[in-house]
Amino acid sequence: MSTPPIPAALIEILRQARHIAVLTGAGISAESGIPTFRAALTGLWSQYRPEELATPAAFRANPALVWQWYSGLRATMRAAQPNPAHYALAAMQRHAPKVTLLTQNIDGLHQRAGSPDVVELHGNIHHMKCSAEHEPVEAWAEGSEEPPPCPRCGAHIRPDIVWFGERLPDAALDRANEAVRTCDVFFSIGTSGEVEPAASFAPRAMGHGATVVVINLDVTTSEARWLYRFHAQAGQLLPELVRAAWPEAAA
């Protein structure tokens, strides 16, 4: 896929920005080989809808099934490597005055690409918690019981992620709201914008005066005063965009 040109006006806006907020979704990890959320239930899992597995009720009804689905996904995510889009955002964080990186992803790839500070809105699949006490569980025996028991209370453990119908972590949401209010530029990258509250971050940021930049495969490339849309693969466009705005990042 050819990459759309990056308008000079946008490069100037990025160079002037004091605070850039970035929201990423499953599309940024697609080029690392992780299926996007809405394409994730393939093969054996194609008979389920995400809402049937990613809920507290599903876990209560069939904990082994939900555990096995997430174990497979965790193995895929552990084996994946960050791609040029993750590295480009880490470079942006090093070169722009302030970047708040918000992600809906649970794969940990931003951190592995060197991003020092990542706001995980939906948790992290590599972390576990007790399903009864909701306290973190550091060590568990994978492969014995499914799901393994909490070493403290014996209840099932579960991935420390946000399921449909659950609240986002307060601290992460506070940081997101602050970024939405105060950023000069808001990037929405690789997300379909179907799941709240993240879906309304970009329009809210625009309401506060930010320029919004959208990169995904659902939009048509277009350019307006406050809104730049790119139909592009993040792993191709973002490195170019970061090099154009911060040439020193290429060094």
Per-residue mark of binding to ligand OAD, 212-251 (x: CB under 6 A):
---xxxx--------------xxx----------------
Looking at the Cβ atoms of 3 and 62, the one nearer to ligand OAD is 3
Which position among 17, 22, 37, 53 is part of the footprint of ligand OAD (CB under 6 A)?
A: 37
29 counts as binding ligand OAD under rule CB under 6 A:
no
30 counts as binding ligand OAD under rule CB under 6 A:
yes
CA distance 10 to 2: 19
Q: Is 134 annotated as catalytic?
A: no
How big is the site for ligand OAD, counted in residues (CB under 6 A)?
25
Q: Which of 86, 122, 127, 134 is catalytic?
A: 122
The position carrying tokens 């809906």 is 104
Min CB(69)–ligand OAD separation in Å: 12
Q: Which of residues 139-198 bind ligand OAD (CB under 6 A)?
A: 162, 190-192, 194-195
- The residues binding ligand OAD (CB under 6 A) are 25-27, 30-31, 36-38, 50, 54, 104, 122, 162, 190-192, 194-195, 215-218, 233-235
Catalytic residues: 122
